[in-house]
Amino acid sequence: MKRIKDLREYIDELDQLGDIKNVTREVDPYLEMAAVTRRGYDLHAPAPLFNNIRGAAKGMRAFGAPAAVSSMASQPAARVALSVGLPASASWLDIVECLTRSIKAEPIAPRIVETAPCKQHILHGDEASLDLFPIPYLHDGDGGPYCNTWGTIVARTPDGKWTNWSIARIQKLDAHRMTGLFMLPQHIAMVWEEWRKIGKPMPFALVQGCEPALPIVSSMPLGDYVNEGDYLGGHFGEPIEVVRCETIDLEVPASAEIVIEGHVSLDRDAEEGPFGEYPGYVVTDTSMQPVYHIECISYRDGAIWPFIPEGRPIDEYHTAVGVAMSAQTLSLLRDAELPITTVWSPLETANHWVFVTVPANWREQLPGVNSEAFCKKIAETIWNTKFGSICPIIYVLDDDIDPSNPHDYLWAVATRCHPTKRHVIDYGPILPLLACYTDEERHAHTGERIVHDCLQLAPEAGRQPHSSFRGAYPKEIQDRVLKYWDQ
């Protein structure tokens, strides 16, 4: 496994693959920079590196689509694969399996280093201004520019026992203040509540432009009180280097391009939103949220600010959450001793669907269990997690289907999912950002969820074979056709 240790090395790797587009003309951070990136998602274009941004301090750069679908049709998962240490040729399901294995790896705590390139410029007080940086206004209708869509928030509980690295959206209020979502059961909200209980503002650090595995792992729904830094060290088999902050008692990844330090208010005293969210729609609701008060900013020469204009699939929310949630789900289902081949949340569905595939011999491994009970157990295992609220629709399929291939899963859902039968409906917590629910359900944070039993009959009961090239012809005929195909 090859660890890419900072954002610049990662950009160089992508550039060698032809997956970077250097944008040298002047671009406006108000909508234009995001629009270029959004158009790139639609075309599966190389990731744009913006080198000339109106209003930003000289030398500042921005990087769009850092972990989107690659521009190389034969290697669509290349950006995420390279980020987590795999070859560019790895598939989405290879990445899921790799991250799943790392959940069981021995955690390795980060290692503190004396200094890092992010200490080249250190600003305090009024000089610590967000106005220096190319912070993008992402969607027409947003409540303002958004300072965080691909950076990691570092926070620690008051007792010092849990250091959380996570991603949550953060909106710029002015040069020295930001606000963002704090919603339970998000870990950032859990840590903030601990500080509220003792009546002290929560120290925070927001890091932009770290080594590429960090945002992927910051998206993972790891268990409560699990340190992402320890998981990432275990994943790579070596400690992640961290450096101490300037004004607060926290350490941040030493690979950072930019570090923003300060404290979060005790009260919800700023309006946050609207914002174009991952289901593909602008969420017009606003809410009162805490304020991040900035006290210090440090950064590298020619700092690079990564960003993602979330929206209709496929962008980084879908790729990162797709692999992260699938890996955690696969691990939990296997821990429950259920026979599972893989788990995948299709990127094209904005992560509203989850596919679970199982081996043909699952009945032998679960004697006396029918398919409805099996599917119900799978769904309950998923729904009884902190991320179960973002999994409203689950399909259980045989593993003759590749759930990462739309040609496979659309055919399977259409032909194996009964229009009105063979499903289990449950009522429980939902994420209010999910686009498929009513206003009443979103405001109540509860709604119906469903698991579809798409499993085929047992082989002895007359399962239908595929009428496809691989399924309808003897191997000798297949081999002959392939041998003479070019003729």
Residues designated as active site: 277
Q: Which positions ≥6 away from 338 have C-beta within 8 Å?
A: 358, 366, 374, 377, 378, 381
* Cα–Cα distance, 423 to 404 (Å, whole number): 22
Report the chain's C-alpha Rg in angstroms.
Answer: 23
Q: Which contiguous run of DSSP H or E holds residue 34?
A: helix 32-43
Q: Where are the beta strands (DSSP E) in 37-145?
A: 47-50, 61-64, 111-113, 121-124
Long-range Cβ contact pairs of 372-376 (< 8 A, separation 24 or more) = 372/422, 372/424, 372/453, 374/338, 374/453, 374/455, 375/424, 375/451, 375/452, 375/453, 375/455, 376/424, 376/451
Are 399 and 357 in contact by the 8 Å Cβ rule? The answer is yes
Q: Provide the token pair at 161.
A: 């026992």
List, in sequence order, the alpha helices (H) in 67-206: 78-83, 92-103, 187-197
Please provide residue 154's backbone torsions phi and psi, each rounded to the nearest 5 degrees.
-105, 125
Q: Which of 381, 411, 380, 409 is nearest to 395 (CA)?
A: 409
**SS3 at position 128:** coil
**SS3 at position 60:** coil
Q: Give the number of residues written for the chain.
A: 487
Q: Which contiguous run of DSSP H or E holds residue 455?
A: none
Q: Which positions ≥6 away from 310 have C-beta within 8 Å?
A: 138, 149, 275, 276, 277, 278, 316, 317
Exposure pattern of 432-446 as b/e (b: 16+ CB <10 Å)? bbbeebeeebbeeeb
Q: Which of 357, 360, 361 is nearest to 403 (CA)?
A: 357
Please classify residue 360 by burial: count the beta carbons closer than 10 Å to its beta carbon, then call 0-12 exposed, 13-18 middle and 19+ buried.
middle
Are 252 and 154 in contact by the 8 Å Cβ rule? The answer is yes
Q: Which positions ≥6 away from 150 have C-beta within 8 Å?
A: 66, 67, 167, 208, 215, 306, 307, 308, 316
Measured CA distances, 396 to 256, 356, 379, 483 (Å):
41, 5, 9, 36
List, in sequence order, the alpha helices (H) in 141-268: 187-197, 213-218, 228-236
